[in-house]
């Protein structure tokens, strides 16, 4: 009987070692993947991170995901896009229950207009992430450009 228990435990231990990554790490990875898809101008992947009912704020302006997607599609189809999108100082706070988290970070983004002009912007962003059917989605995003006199983030 003792041998049977040892065998059972030996078979179960490897599956326990393959436990799910901690929630904070999952959200950090989602933030990294979300921003990488933005930098790659991969609209399909980028917008798949959003819950369709998400609220998005850019500065003081509220928008819907549908309107935001349309404006980005127009930018990309017109020859514009993101040339660089670097994030730093990522902070993740997991909400009790581990089904939601808030992520804050700084961004330096270089955007190319359809006419070819490249602009640099430094901003802070807050994303509220929720786990839906095992997938992390953005329920709310607030992107705020930093004032011009903010010390630059290295880029």
**In the chain, what are the domain boundaries?**
22-145
Task: Give me the DSSP letters along 118-137.
Answer: EEEEEEEEEEEEEEETTEEE
User: Is the predicted pLDDT of residue 150 greater than 90, yes or no?
Assistant: no
For the ranges 8-12, 33-37, 129-133, 146-150, the lowest mean pLDDT is seen at 8-12
- Judge whether residue 17 has pLDDT over 50: no
22-145, what's its fold?
Nuclear Transport Factor 2; Chain: A, (3.10.450)
| pLDDT tens figures, 99-120 | 999 999 999 999 999 999 999 9
Separation between Cα atoms, residue 125 and residue 140, nearest integer Å: 11
Confidence check: pLDDT of 63 > 90: yes
């Amino acid at each position: 009987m003792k041998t049977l228990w040892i065998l059972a435990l030996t078979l179960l231990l490897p599956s326990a070692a393959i436990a799910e990554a901690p929630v904070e790490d999952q959200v950090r990875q989602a933030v990294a993947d979300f921003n990488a898809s933005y930098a790659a101008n991969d609209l399909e992947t980028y917008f798949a991170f959003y819950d369709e009912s998400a609220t998005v704020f850019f500065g003081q302006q509220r928008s819907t995901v549908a309107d935001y997607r349309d404006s980005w599609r127009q930018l990309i189809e017109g020859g514009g896009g993101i040339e660089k999108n670097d994030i730093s100082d990522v902070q993740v706070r997991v909400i009790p229950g581990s089904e939601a988290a808030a992520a804050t970070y700084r961004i330096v983004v270089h955007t190319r207009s359809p006419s070819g002009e490249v602009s640099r912007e430094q901003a802070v962003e807050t994303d509220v992430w929720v786990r839906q059917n095992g997938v992390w989605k953005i329920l709310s995003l607030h992107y705020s450009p930093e004032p011009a006199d903010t010390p630059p983030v290295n880029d």
